Amino acid sequence: MEKTIQNIRFLGLDMIDGAKSGHPGIVLGAAPILYSLYQYHLTSDPKNPDWFNRDRFFLSAGHGSALLYAVLHLAGYDLPLDELKRFRQLGSMTPGHPEYGHTPGVEATTGPLGQGLGMAVGNAIAECHLRHHFNRPGFPVIDHYTYVLCGDGDLQEGVALEALSLAGHLGLERLIIIHDSNDIQLDGPTKNAVSEDLRMKMESMGYYYQLVRDANNVLEVSIAIESAKQVNKPAFIEIKSIIGQGSAKQGTSSVHGSPLGPDETRRLKEEAGFETTLYHVDNVAVADFEKRFGNRGKKAFSKWNKLLKKYHDAYPELHAELENIINRNCGVDIADLYALDPIGHKEATRKTVGKFLPLLSEKIPALMGGSADLASSTNVKGNDGNFSKETPLGRNINFGVREHAMGAIVNGMTLHHLKAFGSGFFVFSDYMKPPIRLAAIMK
């Protein structure tokens, strides 16, 4: 285990030194957290990264890309070592911040802080709705978890507060937020900018809050994740870590975003008794990941496929519906709908939308969304009543006046193959610009 964590850290440092840019602080501080998550909990098959019922992991602290790429490589994803050597180079599979559709195992494009949290909430909403819609006794075809790693900066963003507040209100279970709490951000200690009581804040929003005092205690991190999985509300795990742990500038903002340089990296490797060759991948680390993460994912994937075959026989119609969602096939030819209402009339568009949306919703089970407290004006409402903890089959989301999170949540639902929508007045779309930009660049 120790060797594997070292390997994650040193691959990350080598990548950052090679690119002469990147963020070593989170690599050194949070490596054991990701180790614990991937090895003991995250269930996903690296050989089938698009498996629909995989657990999702969102790296909201997108500046930790080198950490994620190192883990993905060691965990057996199709991310060759040569691509790690091309970190931050044009055209490589390892851009400076993770990009969806570009690197296997990357679930969303992140980097603008806070967006990953919002998308994870959308993802968990989609999972919850689909779980209740599709599962039948003995057929848990949808039952995965949504994990997020966020930093101090993520939590300072307005979009995070909006999204976390809504997720708490909805009582979303199977959403597990892991906070790399190192009390340091880019410009200095977090205490220069924030002084709220995080436990009280999270608990008041409806979260199951836990504190882990040392990120290096992999077992304790794992136990916290395990108990987070058991509760029927969203979970928040604050994990104390030391930014840039082991480096000369550990515990300071200087190590947040400046490469250590080859000399210091070499020194750290020597101190740890680790092979000093650049980009060294230890067989022990590969075997370690294979034994736990790899095997667990492979077995779960094959078990799920068998389950799906039986589901096909027991519930052919639901199965066909699920297949449509998996294949992002909306199951409707939009051209057929034109016949219902010829183009060219003078009706206000919101009136037309209000007429069409229910019709479309009947035909497209994946259509789900709502408004930022403006449904009464825009006529944009999801079918089947409100989505809530008690009524998870409802397809109308009351986003509240939270436009920014609405954009991020719609992105997260879309990443889970729903045809998600949100509405408000056009002028307020300014509040949604960052998620709209991300939606545009996610392939």
Ligand X SMILES: Cc1ncc(C[n+]2csc(CCOP(=O)(O)OP(=O)(O)O)c2C)c(N)n1
Q: Is there a contact between 25 and 264 (Cβ–Cβ < 8 Å)? A: no
**361: three-class secondary structure by DSSP:** helix
- Shortest spacing between CB 443 and ligand X, in angstroms: 21
* Among positions 60, 182, 265, 411, the unique one binding Mg ion when judged by CB under 5 A: 182
Question: In this chain, which stretch among 110-118, 323-331, 332-340, 357-365 interacts with ligand X, using CB under 6 A?
Answer: 110-118
Examine residue 256 and tell whether it contacts ligand X (CB under 6 A). Answer: yes
Give whichever of 183 and 282 is closer to Mg ion, judged by the CB atom: 183
Residue 26 interacting partner from Mg ion, ligand X, none (CB closer than 5 to 8 Å by kind)? ligand X
Sequential DSSP letters for 275-344: --STT---HHHHHHHIIIIIHHHHHHHHHHHHHHHHHHHH-HHHHHHHHHHHTT--S--HHHHHTTS-TT
- Shortest spacing between CB 172 and Mg ion, in angstroms: 25
> How buried is residue 228: exposed, middle or buried, by Cβ count under 10 Å (0-12/13-18/19+)?
buried
Options 83, 107, 238, 403, the catalytic residue: 403
- Shortest spacing between CB 193 and ligand X, in angstroms: 10
| Subset of residues 348 to 407 that bind ligand X, contact rule: CB under 6 A | none
Give whichever of 30 and 364 is closer to ligand X, judged by the CB atom: 30
Examine residue 109 and tell whether it contacts ligand X (CB under 6 A). Answer: no
Question: In this chain, which stretch among 177-185, 226-234, 296-304, 351-359 interacts with Mg ion, using CB under 5 A?
Answer: 177-185
C-alpha distance from residue 133 to each of 127, 265, 311, 391 (Å): 10, 51, 14, 11
Examine residue 151 and tell whether it contacts ligand X (CB under 6 A). Answer: yes
204 φ, ψ to 5°? -70, -25
Give whichever of 64 and 294 is closer to ligand X, judged by the CB atom: 64
Give whichever of 12 and 394 is closer to ligand X, judged by the CB atom: 12
Examine residue 441 and tell whether it contacts ligand X (CB under 6 A). Answer: no
Give the count of alpha carbons within 13 A of 95, CB side only: 16
> How buried is residue 82: exposed, middle or buried, by Cβ count under 10 Å (0-12/13-18/19+)?
exposed
Total length of the chain: 443
Question: In this chain, which stretch among 66-74, 181-189, 298-306, 352-360 interacts with Mg ion, using CB under 5 A?
Answer: 181-189
Residue 96 interacting partner from Mg ion, ligand X, none (CB closer than 5 to 8 Å by kind)? none
Q: Is there a contact between 66 and 15 (Cβ–Cβ < 8 Å)? A: yes
Question: Which residue type does 140 have?
Answer: P
- Residues 187, 190, 193, 198: what is their CA dihedral angle, to the nearest 10 degrees? 150
- Shortest spacing between CB 199 and ligand X, in angstroms: 18
Question: In this chain, which stretch among 18-26, 88-96, 197-205, 378-386 interacts with ligand X, using CB under 6 A?
Answer: 18-26
* Among positions 153, 294, 392, 435, the unique one binding ligand X when judged by CB under 6 A: 153
- Shortest spacing between CB 318 and ligand X, in angstroms: 41
Residue 186 interacting partner from ligand X, Mg ion, none (CB closer than 5 to 8 Å by kind)? ligand X
- Shortest spacing between CB 257 and ligand X, in angstroms: 7
> How buried is residue 354: exposed, middle or buried, by Cβ count under 10 Å (0-12/13-18/19+)?
middle
Examine residue 152 and tell whether it contacts Mg ion (CB under 5 A). Answer: yes
Give strand pairing partners of 212.
239
- Shortest spacing between CB 146 and Mg ion, in angstroms: 22
Give whichever of 179 and 381 is closer to ligand X, judged by the CB atom: 179
| Subset of residues 51 to 80 that bind ligand X, contact rule: CB under 6 A | 61, 63
* Closest chain position to Mg ion (CB): 152
Give strand pairing partners of 147.
57, 176
Give the single-character DSSP code of 27. H
403 is catalytic: yes
Give whichever of 14 and 152 is closer to Mg ion, judged by the CB atom: 152
- Shortest spacing between CB 274 and ligand X, in angstroms: 23
Task: Give the whole-angstrom CA distance, residue 107 versus residue 411.
Answer: 11
Task: Provide the b/e sequence for 2-12 (b: ≥16 CB within 10 Å).
Answer: ebbbbbbbbbb
Contact pattern from residue 374 through residue 403 relative to Mg ion, giving x for each residue in contact according to CB under 5 A and a dash for the rest: ------------------------------
Which residues belong to the active site?
403
Contact set with ligand X (CB under 6 A): 23, 25-26, 61, 63, 111-113, 151-154, 182, 184-186, 243, 256
